[in-house]
Structure 1
Amino acid sequence: MSQRVTGWVGWVWFCAFALLTIGLFNVISGLIAVFNDDKVLGWSGTQGAFVLDISTWGWVHLALGALLTLTGFALFGAAGWARIVAVVLVVINLVWQFVWLPVTPWWSLASIVLGGFVLWALTVHGDEVERAVS
């Protein structure tokens, strides 16, 4: 029995665009942080004060953004592996954005909301893209 492709396949194309957007903004945010000499003073109740170098966080943003962007392009090609990689990367990005929330609250919230839509669309309607292309 062949399953038909529905209009929901458009959500997966939206996911590809959203991944490109999230990835490119992470790359931009990462580049800004990498070239920033600022340090952040943090406080841990058990460990005391610590100094965090923003450029270290920038490298993680940069790498994660590059991977998200490449995966977004792969989703346009309806690659099955891209859906799995996208789900894993979006979950990592969601956790990362929660950690980064105090530094960039508005972008982190936007990224978390977009990531939620991406997860929903890829897990519910992701297989329709492969059927639509083949």
Structure 2
Amino acid sequence: MTTSATTRRTITSGWLTFAAVVFLLTGVFNVINGLVGIFSSDFYVVDAGQVLVFNFTAWGWLWLILGFVQIAVAAGIMNGMTWARAAGIALAALSIIGHMLFLAAFPWWSVLTIALSVLVIYALTVPPHGATAA
């Protein structure tokens, strides 16, 4: 009598590892951005008409919370969770929109975060369904 062990083949993807690491960095950047907005709102020197944000302290809390959620989702991406890939795409899109609103206050930081978020969206959509980070 022969027994056959069923082996489940796992597809690994370097793109998911890349997405998790870059998303983790973006989350850390957003946490830093949030802390600056909360504790030093006068750091962003702009006229009221140049930015679509009216309260930098509230904006800082938003970025702080978003950054921590991004860090948690990055861990989910690294562990191959499908929900984390979908959440990562949605949060990266929110990050892009938020940093476009914040562009006049801190342009280089916003452009860097927008570019990283675009890379994350690409890296999360490229691997096949069911793939895990390498």
On whether the aligned pair clears a TM of 0.5, the verdict is yes
- TM-score, normalised by the number of residues in structure 1: 0.80
Query: Partners in 2 of 1:128 and 1:20 — Cα distance?
Result: 21
Query: Partners in 2 of 1:103 and 1:26 — Cα distance?
Result: 14
Is residue 72–residue 86 contact of structure 1 (8 Å, CA) maintained in 2? yes
- The structure 1 residue matched to 2:30, chosen from 5, 26, 38, is 26
- TM-score, normalised by the number of residues in structure 2: 0.80
More moved, 115-124 vs 76-85:
115-124
The alignment yields a C-alpha RMSD, in angstroms, of 2.7
Query: Partners in 2 of 1:11 and 1:17 — Cα distance?
Result: 10
Percent of aligned pairs sharing the same letter: 33
Higher relative contact order (CA 8 A, sep 6+): 2
What is the correspondence of 1:51-62 to structure 2 with a 5 Å cutoff?
52-62=54-64
- The structure 1 residue matched to 2:19, chosen from 9, 12, 15, is 15
Structure 2 portions without partners, runs of 5+: 1-8
Larger of the two Rg values belongs to structure = 2
Query: Partners in 2 of 1:124 and 1:25 — Cα distance?
Result: 24
Give the SS at the match of 1:127: coil
- Structure with the largest fraction of strand: 1
Partner of 1:35: 39
